[in-house]
Amino acid sequence: LLFLGLRPNLSAVMKSKDIKVMIEEMKKGRRLPLARLISKVENRSADLPEVMKHLYSFTGTGEVWGITGPPGAGKSTLVDCLIKSLRSQGKRVAVIAVDPSSPFSGGAILGDRIRMQEHSRDSGVYIRSLGTRGKHGGLSHATKEVTMVLDAAGFDVILVETAGVGQTELEILRLAQTVAVVLVPESGDGIQVMKAGIMEIADVFVVNKSDRPGADKMVRELLTMVGLGHTDVPTDAHRAEHGKPWRPLVLRTEAVRHKGMEEFVAAMQSHQKYLSDSGKKKEKTKDFLKNELLDILSEKVGTLASQILDTPDGQRLLFDLIERKSDPYESSRKLIQELMKQKEILS
């Protein structure tokens, strides 16, 4: 088999020198080069290897915080308050709002983004929505690389806000070092059932809209869940000590009244301190980079294999499969053989 006619990548490729200049400008705090570099990541530009080559050495200082929870829990308002609190500490803050583009979740996110424009004149704040429609499996990969761009740009805290339902909230574990799960009293019924899943991802539980009925019960249930029984004051006393596993903190907030926000910021920062002190931050960094390598590999192999399947010989391979002259695993072996003949695989 000979696979001819692979499509060349036609997207405009920038010169290495120009990419370097763009990164330097971004590091001076300019918005336009930052936005353009993020777009290159989001659009999976052919420049990406060159961008990462020059940008990667500047990464490694930004903290990535994940904010997740069911739709309607008030995550965006909470993020809005987080920005204010972190700004008052002098931190530079970036927000990535991951819009899973669900046909069922609708357009709340657009309104939120408009509201967040009150920060738009503050050069210490950068907010960006990332759409994910149609990019199968691409959510965590592109988002991860955007956190790296923002890290290199010098943001101290990078907030990743996702409407966590289904598998999304597992992906946030691959992105964020510290994860807050935001709940509201109304989501209380299912706590016992969702116990296993939720314990895996939350470093901090936030019961938002905590003036509503059921808040006390929910806080108690969460405290029981994290093994603190009937204690009522869930903050400082229960921070994990050095060498011990982290025990999730349980907090109350009323984001619309900016109540409980200092405690929330303190909780997230205490988890970051725990990660550094315990050596767990290094493990997280290693996992993050391991996943990044595997994602790059998977994207490259998938793109090349798709192109091969679009050639006449690839179409014949598919035709044999449709006609049951081969089976999927046998055909995939042939596809791998062809893939390994491509020079592009090593470029």
Read off the tokens for 319.
């035709």
At its nearest, how many Å lie between a copy of itself and the CB of residue 125? 26
Q: What is the 3-state secondary structure (H, E, C) of 29-76?
A: CCHHHHHHHHHHHHCCCCCHHHHHHHHHHHCCCCEEEEEEECCCCCHH
- Helices and strands, number each (H, E), in the chain: 13, 7
DSSP code per residue over 162-186: EE--TTHHHHHHHH-SEEEEEE-GG
Are 68 and 172 within 8 A, CB to CB?
A: yes
Q: Name 183's bridge partners.
A: 207
At its nearest, how many Å lie between a copy of itself and the CB of residue 255? 19
Are 86 and 93 within 8 A, CB to CB?
A: yes
Measured from the CB atom, the residue of 13 and 294 that comes closer to a copy of itself is 294
At its nearest, how many Å lie between a copy of itself and the CB of residue 118? 23
Measured from the CB atom, the residue of 256 and 309 that comes closer to a copy of itself is 309
Q: How far apart are CA 69 and CA 182, in angstroms?
A: 5
For the chain, first and last CA: distance in Å?
22
At its nearest, how many Å lie between a copy of itself and the CB of residue 323? 10
At its nearest, how many Å lie between a copy of itself and the CB of residue 307? 11
Long-range contacts of 118-121 (CB under 8 A, 24+ apart): 119/83
Measured from the CB atom, the residue of 249 and 305 that comes closer to a copy of itself is 305
Measured from the CB atom, the residue of 15 and 319 that comes closer to a copy of itself is 319
At its nearest, how many Å lie between a copy of itself and the CB of residue 128? 19
Non-local (6+) Cβ contacts of 177 within 8 A are 63, 64, 65, 272, 275, 281, 284
At its nearest, how many Å lie between a copy of itself and the CB of residue 66? 13
Alpha-carbon distances, residue 34 vs 136, 153, 174, 276 (angstroms): 25, 7, 23, 28
At its nearest, how many Å lie between a copy of itself and the CB of residue 44? 12
Read off the tokens for 21.
């200049």
For residue 257, the 8-state DSSP code is: G
Q: Name 128's bridge partners.
A: 96
Measured from the CB atom, the residue of 244 and 286 that comes closer to a copy of itself is 286
State the amino acid at position 173 in one-letter form.
L
Measured from the CB atom, the residue of 12 and 193 that comes closer to a copy of itself is 193
At its nearest, how many Å lie between a copy of itself and the CB of residue 245? 19
